[in-house]
Amino acid sequence: MSTEKLAAFFKEGSLFSNLSAEELTQLAQIARERRFDRNQILFYEGDLGGSLYIIVSGTVKIVIMSDDGREHILGLLHSGDFFGEISLIDGEPRSATAIALDKVSVVMLSRDDFVRLLRENPEMPLKIMVTLCERLRKTDKHVESLAFLSAPGRIAQVLLNWAEAENQQPDAEVTIPHKMTRQEFASIAGTSRETLTRVLMDFQDEGLLTLEKNKIHLHQRARLREKVV
């Protein structure tokens, strides 16, 4: 991407919007671009953190993994989102693994450049804190659902979240985001693939939804909401 295009991309995003045109150009000149294919690992949990990542296009899933290779998705990040800040700020290893969910293009800033930007731009630490707070709130909600909801309740909740993100129609077709596999869907709902399949079939038998390829047609959102227990 040209320096001008990259500077314009930085200007659009909330993190760097307060920088002057000159600072944005400088930032675009020092940032490194990298591309990743679907399923490629950007970094592993436990790696030493070297850079801040900003997503230009595509989706990155942030996961933690069990010793036997099962993954739990902590979050999905999209164009304009940044990640990799935690280990740069606290100097500890990466707190989670980052994997490309589809074709992903990122720009990377070295730790030194990131720290210099934080020092020189007093509003930037606050913006990062706001994002960290949003992520903490989301994670708290997720922990709440893992702690208190049944597996069907968690699956219903994920479907309702996707439906709400897509549209406000009461009777909605929900596209499973990013051609996500059943395993990834199950991981977001904090359940196994087998349980997910069984619960979706039960919901279908009850007339709450129809399963289609990469799509789930929700028929009765109000009744699905009753399953969130």
How far, in Å, CA of 162 to CA of 173, rounded? 10
Q: CB count, 10 Å around CB of 63?
A: 19
Sheet containing strand 41-43, edge to edge, reads: 41-43, 97-100, 60-65, 71-77
Decide: helix, strand or coil at residue 158: helix
Q: Which stretch binds ligand CMP (CB under 6 A): 16-24, 82-90, 107-115, 173-181?
A: 82-90
Tokens 């930037």 belong to residue: 124
The single residue among 15, 96, 100, 159 that binds ligand CMP, judged by CB under 6 A, is 96
Phi, psi of 172 (to 5 degrees): -125, 150
Q: Which stretch binds ligand CMP (CB under 6 A): 1-9, 32-40, 92-100, 101-109?
A: 92-100
Is residue 84 a contact residue for ligand CMP (CB under 6 A)?
A: yes
| Contact assessment for residue 224 and residue 159, using Cβ atoms and an 8 Å cutoff | yes
Is residue 118 a contact residue for ligand CMP (CB under 6 A)?
A: no
User: Least CB distance from residue 114 to ligand CMP, whole Å?
Assistant: 11
The residue type of 207 is G
Q: Which token pair is 8?
A: 């314009």
The single residue among 1, 30, 65, 86 that binds ligand CMP, judged by CB under 6 A, is 86
Which residue, 84 or 152, is less far from ligand CMP as judged by CB?
A: 84
Binding to ligand CMP (CB under 6 A) within 36-65 occurs at 49, 62
Residues forming the site for ligand CMP (CB under 6 A): 49, 62, 74-75, 83-87, 94-96, 98, 135, 139
